[in-house]
Amino acid sequence: MIQAVIFDLDGVLVDTAHYHFLAWQRLAKELGIHFTEQENEQLKGVSRMRSLEIILEMGNLQLSLDEMNKLAEKKNKWFVQYINKIKPDEIFPGVKELIQRIRESKIKVALASSSKNANTVLDLLHIKNIFDALVDGTMITHTKPDPEIFLLAAKKLNVLPSQCLVYEDAEAGVDAALAAGMKCVGVGSPNTLRSAHFVVAATPEFTLEKIKSIV
């Protein structure tokens, strides 16, 4: 029986995954590297630095750590500019209601995002107080697909990993949930997220009834 549900943030609760893509694409363009939405799938869920490394690998570019830090900072500045316009009604339709129903049925709810901007996004959406535990990119050493982030969320909730269900839109996130020994709902395309236990096109499609039917 599922005792806790752990939500990823970018691309699961709100469309910030798209802003990450736009900012990375802008940076890639400046570096003369061709970067498509399909290639962006590899960046989803992983840390800012790992994302930059992947883009540089695509362009066969080798830069110093100092240069890389500057580029990562630049991308983040653009990302923060994009998200600053987010309004509370930009949370995906039905997500708040789903979380409310989960909590009413005494199942715990956590957020586990690789992003160091997670707190800002939660503040802009006015949803910080709907979680029993929060884990973000400032609290972990290893990025998804490492299971660290989800194991920390389970620990904070005081539940076993096997009692947790994770909602994820990233391939790296699905792998992390599985590595943590958790059940996983992939949010997006079954092609990209084929390792997940379940796949839905939008977060609220995996309802409370479906959560309760997991044995």
Contact status, residue 45 vs residue 8, Cβ threshold 8 Å? yes
Q: Which position among 8, 136, 169, 175 bears the catalytic label?
A: 8
Among 43, 99, 107, 112, binds ligand BG6 (CB under 6 A): 43
Nearest alpha carbon to residue 10 among 2, 1, 20: 20
Site residue total, ligand BG6 (CB under 6 A): 18
Q: If you search the block for the tokens 């697909």, which residue do you land on?
A: 145
CB of 78 to ligand BG6, least distance (A): 11
Contact status, residue 79 vs residue 115, Cβ threshold 8 Å? no
Tokens of 119: 């707190």
Stretch 81-140 residues interacting with ligand BG6 (CB under 6 A): 113-117, 137
Tokens of 32: 């003369």
Among 5, 27, 45, 211, binds ligand BG6 (CB under 6 A): 45
CB of 126 to Mg ion, least distance (A): 20
Q: What DSSP element (H or E) covers 186?
A: strand 183-187
Residues that bind ligand BG6 (CB under 6 A): 9-10, 17, 20, 43-45, 47-48, 51, 76, 113-117, 137, 170
